[in-house]
Structures are given as structure tokens and as C-alpha cells.
Amino acid sequence: MSIFSFTFQRTKNLKYLYAIRLVRDLANQLMIFFLPLYFFNLRFPFMSRFELSGLQEGIFNVAMVYLLTYVVCFFLAIPTSRILTKHGVRYGFLLGHLFYCLYALALFFSIENPYLVLTAAVINGLQINLFWNTYHYSLSKHSSENKIGSNLGIINFLLTLLAMIAPALGGIIIVTLGYQTLFLLGLFIILFGVVFSLQLDNVKVRDHISFKEFSAWLAEPTFRRLAVSFTGRYFNDASINLWTLYMFILLGSHDSVGYFYSLSLFLALLISYFAGSYIDRDKGRKQFFMSGGFLSFFWVLRGFMLNIWTITIVNAFDKLTASYHWLFFDRSWIMRGKGREALSYFVYREMIYSLAAIVFWLFVAVIFYFFIAAWKSLFVAAAIGVLLTLLIKEHKSEQS
């Protein structure tokens, strides 16, 4: 038997879900990976009224765009969920992809008019809800309980494979052909997601989602604990976006950032492949706590590295550890969503994620305006975020 045999679950709907996610992440790794750099280098005329350094102005651009995105995402989470309850998941995917195309188109034209980036941010807030709530609900519904880790493992393996190639390729495209070509390529790639979405069974969702219920859920101690873990996850994810910007400031070129990021992902590839099935068999939390501790330590370490080779080495070890940690984390919270009110769970999770994003980007604006050691403060916040993810539980009744 080949050592690469992998017992993930294969069904018609899961097969198309894998394809949809791969298409989505290929577009993301090409475009979204470099977006903080793009936003950083934009110049909005109104910014000249403030006495800001070049670094502060660039960081404020990034924070402003993401802040607007997640304010929109929070307030549209419940209205967009009604599309799924009324028309089914296929429409959620289709609209999510179509709005993603509009997002890429707005970015394409923002080269000439930077204010269109703000339009793109509003569209992005809408499409995040449409796509991710639909995707997580569908993955939870179609994955059997003892195969979720394996399913996530194969997805993460393939995503890591893409992530090894796409950043380097995206950097080359930006240097040789410019951002407009990159955004146009992302638009065409995401159209394949529309094709795969049409192949899915159009599952109708029976659920009642409201701000009143969201408030009631937050009143429960177990859900508040879950909300804190999601907040920690966003602090980590958003800090990774800014880590790309930090590497760009050190290296000074888009293609170098892509090369070194791709190199650091190479060592993480096999871990993503094998860790999923291991987690399905061994659900112990000891390794999860250890990986969280290492990831937190790596974030603190980043603030003291100025040499590109030390950055690459730490990146590689970080990705190795992250492959296991986030598989365990994702399996736990997706498992928590299997049940009668599954869509409510995923919508409210996205709302918590959005609130965490609003807090994070306000925090980033404050530390870069008032503090000299802003980067180190950011990395410490990311380290704390990773530790907060250790609060995740697969079931409400699970003991710490």
C-alpha cells in the first residue's frame, strides 16, 4: 500500500466542495496574499490632511479597508443568510462567487481611482457572508463525524500545495505585468467556482436567524468561550496578512516575498496531508496545547528577527506546527456546528469573526499611531490570539 493513501470521505457534494474551495483559494493566494501591500501603497488624497509618516499612512489604508469590510460583513450576516433559507445553498455559492468577481473588478479599476477600493471593501463584506457561511454549513452537513479531520486534512494539503506556488507566481505577475493583470486573473479563476457550484445539490436550509437569537447565544457561557477562541483565531489570521507586509518592507520586492513564503510552506506540506486522519483517531488535546504554545512563541520571536533567512526558518517551523494546530481547531469548531441549528451557528460565528476584525483593526491603527514598537506589539497580540484558540471545545459538555 502506498504511504500516500488517505482515507478521506468521497461523495458527490464533497467532491465539488473540494473543487470550489481550491478554486477560491487559488484566487485568494494570487490576489489576497498581496492585497495588504497593494492597500499600503495606495494614496488617498484626504490622507494628506493628517501629519502621518509613510508607514502610518500605509497602515491606516490597510486598517481602513479591512475595517469597512467587516463592519459591512457584521451587519449583512443575517440578511444574507435568508438567501440560503429561502433559495438553498447553491444560490449562496453562486452569489458568493459572482460578488467575488465584482470585488476583483472593483480592485482592477481602483488602479485608476483608489476610492474604488472602498467600494471593493463593501462588496467583499457581502461576499464573505455568502460564500463562507454556505461553505462551512455544506462541509459540516456532508462530512460524517469520523471523517471531518480527514476531509479537512486533504483540503489543507491541497491548499498548502497551492500556497507553495501561488505567492511566488503572484509576485512575478505583479513585477512583470502589474496588479491589474493579477486582479483580472483572479476574476477569471473564480468563474470556475460558478461552474462547480451548479453541480451541487441545492439543499434547502431550515433555520431561523436573528440578532435577538445571536444575543441570546452570547449570553451562554459556553458560547462566549467559543467566541473568545474565534477572536483569537482572527487575531492570528489578520496578523499573518500584516506579516506579509512586514516581509515586504524588509525585502523591498513583491517577487522575493512570494519566493520566501513559498519556500517556508514546502516543509508544511506532508504534515497537512497526514495530520487530518491522525486527529480523527486521536482527539487528545495535549498535542493541540503544545502546538498552540509553539505558535505563540514563534509570533513573539518574529518581533526580533531582521535577517531574511531566520525569518524563513521560523516561517517554516511555524507552518509545520500550524498544520496540526489549525486542523485540530477547525475540526473542533466545525464539529460543534453539526446539528439542528447549523446555519445559525455558522452565521453567528462569522458575526463574531467580524466583531473581532473590527477590534483588531482599530487596535492596529492605535498602536501604529501612538507606539514606536508597533510591530512587536502586533506580534505579541497575535501570540495572545493563538493562546485564546486553546479554549475551543468540540462539544459544549467537554471538560477542560
Q: Mean pLDDT of residues grouped by 10 in the chain (400 residues)?
A: 44 82 86 87 85 89 96 95 87 94 95 94 96 89 65 67 72 86 91 88 83 93 93 94 82 57 57 50 71 89 73 72 80 77 90 97 94 90 94 64
Report the distance separating Cα 22 and Cα 29, nearest Å: 10
User: Domain for residue 224, yes or no?
Assistant: yes
Give kind and range of the element (H or E) at residue 316: helix 308-336
Residue 42 lies in a domain: yes
Q: Is residue 7 included in any domain, yes or no?
A: no
- Cell matching residue 109: 479599476
Q: Is residue 236 part of a domain?
A: yes
The CA distance from 225 to 391, in Å, is 7
Helices (H) and strands (E) in the chain, counts: 15, 0
**Distance (Å, rounded) from C-alpha 18 to C-alpha 138?**
11
State the Cα torsion 48-121-330-344 to the nearest 10°: 130
Return d(Cα 129, Cα 73) in angstroms, integer.
6
Q: Using alpha carbons, select from 135, 175, 183, 322 the residue that is nearest to residue 239.
A: 322
Alpha-carbon span 83 to 133, nearest angstrom: 11
Q: Which domain holds residue 157?
A: 12-391
Tens digits of per-residue pLDDT, 293-321?
Answer: 989 998 988 877 666 667 767 777 777 77
Q: How far apart are CA 23 and CA 53, in angstroms?
A: 38
Residue 37 CA from chain centroid, whole number: 17
Quick count: other Cβ atoms within 10 Å of Cβ 202? 14
Residue 233 falls within a domain, yes or no? yes
382 assigned to some structural domain: yes
Q: 125: which 3 cell numbers? A: 463584506
31 belongs to a structural domain: yes
Give the total number of structural domains in the chain.
Answer: 1
DSSP for 205-221 reads: ------HHHHHHHHTSH
Q: Among all chains, which residue has been given the C-alpha cell 447549523?
A: 342
Contact (CB, 8 A) for 57 and 265: no
**What pLDDT does residue 399 have?**
47
Q: What is the pLDDT of residue 1?
A: 34
**pLDDT number for residue 276:** 47
Q: What is the pLDDT of residue 240?
A: 87
CA distance 340 to 63: 37
Q: Please report the pLDDT score of residue 237 as a whole number.
A: 92
Residue 397 inside a domain? The answer is: no
For the question of whether the overall pTM of this predicted structure is more than 0.85, the answer is yes
> Whole-angstrom Cα distance, residue 352 to residue 347?
9
**For residue 204, what is the enclosing H or E element?**
none
Residue 375, domain CATH: 1.20.1250.20
Q: Is 103 exposed, middle or buried (0-12, 13-18, 19+ CB in 10 A)?
A: buried
Contact 355, 74 (CB under 8 A): yes
